[in-house]
């Protein structure tokens, strides 16, 4: 298979309300930034993959059509991917396949959404089955609340673990100028005292609703060699799904994630993920999920996700989080601030891939993990069932 590299990425700062730009404007900002980063011109783009969140969120069907000009896809091959929360990652993965197939050499993947333009949880409640379940849906929080509660009871995780993750990612976000939430002085007390939105999830255990966009440029090895921009090699890619209401489903055992991780690790030659991965960007829309994903990704054994929090292994080195993190820096997770600090849904899983590639391209600035060579990006979507894993490397596998 052809080798594929990420040579440019971009995303405008996320915020509650982008008043000065509409959806097309945000998409344009992201695409332009990614092109500049890659040292390419719009005319160099051979094909475009567009991704966005459910239409019932934005009220716009086929937003890729409206954003044709803004995404530089007039006169070019283009189509839209939509896999819910996963979509940003699914879009990056589709762009990878565009190049790996040999059909194209330079492909733009672009996503965007303005969550300020509608009541997001109303839109997300329409993901629930209309016949059995939608009656008491409260968007994403209520679905994940059930998962979090099951995890707490099964393995003894506490509100403290959730709060530590919420604090970790918010403090990390202070070093990422593009993150939506910059909560100065965030601490465990603030999380504990924030209002309950769907028990056991409190407001500060939850992601914000953001306006934003994101773009990435994927190129073939041949093109990559000609560009001076640093590269992030796509060494492993997988997108696996499970069902929703299937028999013996255990929400604390993400079987699709396990399979996706295994596939991506095999491709990238990763045998001990905790040791070999230098930094990871996970899709923790709600704090508790981060521990469940650690386990699904094989960073630790099942039921031991909270140990990584207790010991501080997934915290950044040299940052004071207000509590002990003796093993900080072993495998930093979400140095960007994660989904808890920015979430426009359409771009969110792509930003995991962008941040992971920025780390191996040495471009993460203040939140750079020194010497990161192997980075992992994860996404989830649908009824907590679609999982994507991408392994990015400083060198090709």
Partner 1 sequence: MAEPVKEIKGRLIIPYRWSYGRSLSLFFEHTRVEKKIYGARCTKCKRVLVPPVVVCGRCFAPTEEEWVEVADRGELIAWTTVYYPFPGQPTQPPYTYGYVLLDGANTKFPHLIMEIEPEKLKPGMRMEAVWNEDRKGDLYDIKYFRPEQK
Partner 2 sequence: MKKIAIVGYATSPFKPGIRDIHLGELVFNTVQEALKNTGMSIEDIETVVDASCDIIDGRSISNTFMIEPMGAFLKEEAKVEEDGAYATIYAYMRLLTGKFKTAMVVSHGKISESSPDTYSGTIADPFFMRPMGITALTSTALHVSTYYGHYGIDEKYAAMVAVKNLGNAKLNPRAHNKGDYTVEDVLNSEVLATPIKKLDSPPVTDGAAVIILAVEGEAEKITDTPVWIRGVGFINDGFYLGHRDLIELPSLREAARRAYAAAGIKNPAEEIDIAEVYESYSFNELMLYDGLGFCEKGEGWKLIEEGTTCRDGKLPVNVSGGALGANPLMARGLVNMIEVATQLTGKAGEHQVKKDLKTGLVHSTSGFCFQSNVVWILSNEKG
Residues that bind partner 1 (CB under 8 A): 19, 56, 59, 119-122, 125, 130-139, 141-142, 145-147, 149-150, 153, 195-201, 242-243, 245-249, 251
User: Which of 296, 321, 290, 357 has its CA nearest to residue 109?
Assistant: 357
- DSSP of 310-346: HHTTTSPTT---SS--TTTTSS-B-TT--TTT---ST
CB of 213 to partner 2, least distance (A): 17
Q: Tell me which of 6, 7, 127, 227 binds partner 2, using CB under 8 A.
A: 127
**94 sits near partner 2 (criterion: CB under 8 A):** yes
* Residue labelled with tokens 């197939």: 101
Regarding 196 and contact with partner 2 (CB under 8 A), the answer is no
Q: Which residues does 367 contact at the CB level (< 8 Å), separation at least 6?
A: 172, 175, 176, 316, 335, 336, 337
Compute how many residues bind partner 2; rule: CB under 8 A. 62
DSSP string, 18-76: -SS--HHHHHHHHHHHHHHHHT--GGG--EEEEE---HHHHT-SSHHHHTTTTTT-TTS
248 interface partner picked from partner 2, partner 1, none, CB below 5 to 8 A per type: partner 1
Subset of residues 260 to 319 that bind partner 2, contact rule: CB under 8 A? 263
Residue 171 has, within 13 A of its CA and on its CB side, a CA count of 23
The reply to whether 346 sits near partner 2 by the rule CB under 8 A is: no
- Which residue in the set 38, 213, 240, 277 belongs to the binding site for partner 2 (CB under 8 A)? 240
From the CB of 5, what's the least distance to partner 1, in Å?
37
Q: Is residue 209 a contact partner of residue 141, using CB atoms and an 8 Å limit? A: no
Binding partner at 158 among partner 2, partner 1, none, C-beta below 5 to 8 Å by kind? none
Q: Which of 43, 61, 226, 271 binds partner 2 (CB under 8 A)?
A: 61
> For residues 5 and 220, what is the distance between their CA atoms, to the nearest angstrom?
6
Give min distance, CB of 137 to partner 1, in A.
Answer: 7
| Selection from 40, 16, 45, 42 nearest residue 117 by Cα | 16
Nearer to partner 1, 314 or 344 (CB): 344
Query: DSSP 3-state assignment of 144?
Result: helix
CB of residue 117 vs partner 1: minimum separation in angstroms? 8
Q: Give the nearer residue to partner 1 in terms of CB position, either 239 or 358.
A: 239
**φ and ψ at 118, to 5 degrees?**
-160, 165
Q: Is 301 left (phi over 0), alpha (psi -120 to 50) or beta?
A: beta
* C-beta closer to partner 2: residue 128 or 151: 128
150 vs 304, beta carbon nearer partner 1: 150
**Closer residue to partner 1 in complex, CB, 134/317:** 134
Give the separation between CA 236 and CA 263, rounded to whole angstroms. 8
* CA angle centred on 331, ends 327 and 332, rounded to 5°: 95
Q: In the bound complex, what is the minimum distance in angstroms from residue 34's beta carbon to partner 2?
A: 18
């995404």: which residue's tokens? 71
244 binding partner 2? (CB under 8 A): yes
Question: Which spans of this chain sit near partner 2 (rule: CB under 8 A)?
Answer: 1-2, 48, 54-57, 59-62, 64-69, 73-84, 90, 93-94, 97-98, 100-103, 123-124, 126-127, 129-130, 238-246, 255-256, 259, 263, 381-383, 385-386
């Amino acid at each position: 298979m052809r080798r594929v590299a990420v040579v440019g990425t971009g995303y405008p700062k996320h915020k509650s309300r982008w008043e000065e730009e509409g959806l097309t404007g945000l998409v344009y900002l992201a695409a332009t930034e990614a092109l500049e980063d890659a040292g390419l011109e719009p005319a160099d783009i051979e094909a475009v993959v567009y991704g966005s969140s459910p239409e019932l969120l934005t009220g716009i069907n086929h937003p890729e059509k409206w954003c044709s000009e803004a995404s530089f896809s007039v006169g070019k091959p283009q189509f839209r991917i939509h896999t819910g929360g996963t979509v940003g990652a699914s879009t990056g993965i589709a762009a990878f396949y565009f190049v790996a197939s040999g059909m194209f050499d330079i492909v733009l993947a672009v996503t965007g959404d303005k969550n300020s333009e509608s009541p997001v949880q109303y839109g997300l409640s329409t993901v629930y089955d209309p016949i059995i379940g939608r009656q008491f849906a409260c968007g994403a929080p209520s679905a994940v609340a059930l998962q979090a509660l099951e995890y707490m009871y099964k393995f003894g995780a506490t509100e403290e673990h959730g709060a530590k993750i919420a604090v970790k990612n918010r403090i990390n976000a202070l070093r990422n100028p593009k993150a939506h939430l910059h909560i100065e002085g965030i601490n465990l007390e603030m999380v504990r005292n924030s209002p309950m939105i769907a028990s056991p999830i409190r407001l500060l255990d939850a992601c914000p609703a953001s306006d934003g966009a994101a773009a990435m440029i994927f190129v073939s090895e041949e093109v990559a060699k000609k560009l001076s921009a640093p590269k992030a090699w796509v060494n492993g890619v997988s997108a696996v799904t499970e069902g929703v209401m299937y028999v013996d489903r255990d929400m604390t055992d993400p079987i699709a994630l396990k399979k996706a991780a295994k596939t991506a690790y095999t491709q990238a030659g990763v045998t001990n993920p905790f040791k070999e991965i230098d930094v990871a960007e996970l899709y923790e829309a709600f704090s508790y999920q981060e521990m469940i994903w650690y386990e699904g990704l094989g960073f630790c054994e099942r039921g031991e996700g909270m140990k990584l929090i207790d010991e501080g292994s997934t915290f950044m080195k040299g940052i004071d989080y207000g509590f002990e993190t003796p093993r900080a820096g072993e495998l930093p997770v979400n140095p960007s601030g994660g989904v808890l600090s920015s979430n426009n849904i359409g771009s969110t899983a792509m930003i995991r891939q962008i941040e992971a590639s920025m780390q191996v391209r040495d471009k993460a600035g203040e939140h750079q993990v020194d010497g990161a060579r192997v980075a992992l990006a994860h996404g989830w979507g649908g009824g907590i069932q679609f999982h994507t894993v991408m392994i990015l490397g400083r060198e090709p596998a």
